[in-house]
Structure 1
Amino acid sequence: MAGARSRSAGALEALVMRALWTAAAPLSANAIQATFDDPAPAQTTILTVLSRLEAKGLVSRRALSPRRVMFEPAVSSAQAHAADMVEVLDGAQDREDALMAFTDNLSEGDLDLVMDAIASRRSRRGS
């Protein structure tokens, strides 16, 4: 069915970013499109998503010529996901409750990683 969406805009952005993060080098829109299972989004859709990601500061564009444009992530996967978590936390009605609920859902291994990260940050700050 022409014009029917099978993915949300956010899901499409996430798939484009995943393609860029896993690539060893910058990718063209055509190469990004090739990473999708069928039905792959149209190349114009990929280019629209890339423009939106560029406006958000997540993707950088490198024009090798007017018809040859390559794209690469402007931030790492870790940086992007950390920013997403901070944004969600900033939107919480009760920040403390949100943090407590978040830690209740972490595995023991994740809790250890968070505790190590906190200790490392405090030692760098001199606290």
Structure 2
Amino acid sequence: MAKSTKKTTETPDATDPAHAGMVAAMAAFSPVATTAWFDMMQESMRFVTERLEKDLEAQRAMLACRTPQELMQAQSDFMQKAFTDYTEETRRMMELMGVALRVDIRDTAPTTRRNFDDVPV
């Protein structure tokens, strides 16, 4: 009897101790980085979902074309929208990274001022 060579791919479960430990370690290392990472993942998933929907709409439009000119126009429209969407998404991701970087730098920026808490009285 032949064994199945099909691999199962499971998404990590949030209740899995290994997954929870990884998240806790990231949060302990840098809460700002963890928040930024989660925000970026959420934005990425939103974008991918939106682009897949638009890709399906474009396929439907291309399949409905009756002439080569209609097909070329549908393809051209699709590429222009995709270019605009990817450019906008790049801007959003850079914005998210910039917010995290500014907050992180502000929190860890060295200062030359003394608080005078270290001077014995």
In the superposition, the TM-score normalised over structure 1's length comes to: 0.23
Relative to its length, the structure with more strand (as a share) is 1
Relative to its length, the structure with more helix (as a share) is 2
Instruction: Report which structure shows greater RCO (CA 8 Å, sep ≥6).
Output: 2
Structure of larger gyration radius: 2
In the superposition, the TM-score normalised over structure 2's length comes to: 0.24
